[in-house]
Amino acid sequence: MSASITETLYEWMLRRRIMTEVAREMGVNVNTLAGELRPSNPQAKLGADELTPLFAAVRRVGYGHELRGILHGFIRDLKGENDLTWADEREFVPNALMLSKCVGLLCDSASKLDQIEDEAELARMRSMIRSELLSVAVRMEAIVDSRLTKLRRNRRRGLVPGISASPKVSEA
């Protein structure tokens, strides 16, 4: 992934407003935890040994499912399964449409999940979740990550995307 795991966790924990609660669960000062995760502080990085206690604290405060989704891409990177260099922004809309279609099919099946006795149908649902929903979401995430990386790189260089050096003068 092009994003930093500490930066991703920092932004997510701020957005969810769980930084203080997680710090309390870990037994550390909230400023210390925020400082270790904050992307603007290049010296402070959360150590690998601190990830397990951090994840356990996040689960204890009730955000384990969201954390699992956030970590999915990073875990694929660790396993060497992510080759997301192919991210093409033009494919975002088709992927969004595919995701919508899959979610619609999944919702239809989910409404009667407790009544499904057919193993083949349940296996199809599981397969769709694993092979279609998850892969489309990972592709979409790669596209957004690629765009975010470009924007951040341009900001560091002082470039402002979408603005040309010499504005066009309208003809009257």
pLDDT per residue as tens digits for the range 29-55: 999 999 898 877 777 778 888 889 999
pLDDT in tens, 82-133: 555 556 777 788 878 888 887 887 787 777 888 888 888 887 777 777 667 7
Question: For residue 91, what are the contacts with CB-CB under 8 A and spacing of at least 6?
Answer: 139, 143
Between these two residues, 70 and 14, which has the higher pLDDT value? 14
Question: For residue 164, what are the contacts with CB-CB under 8 A and spacing of at least 6?
Answer: none
Say if CB 73 and CB 128 are below 8 A apart.
Answer: no
Is pTM, for the whole model, over 0.85? no
d(CA 140, CA 89) in angstroms, rounded, equals 9
d(CA 24, CA 33) in angstroms, rounded, equals 10
Q: Give burial (CB, 10 Å; 0-12/13-18/19+) of 155.
A: exposed
Q: Which pLDDT belongs to residue 73?
A: 72
Q: Helix axis angle, 134-157 relative to 64-79, nearest 10°?
A: 80
C-beta pairs of 71-75 under 8 Å, 24+ apart in sequence: 71/5, 72/134, 72/138, 73/1, 73/138, 73/141, 74/1, 74/5, 74/8
Question: What ranges in 111-172 are assigned the alpha helix state H?
Answer: 119-127, 134-157
What is the token pair recorded at 27? Answer: 């037994």
pLDDT(28) > 90:
yes
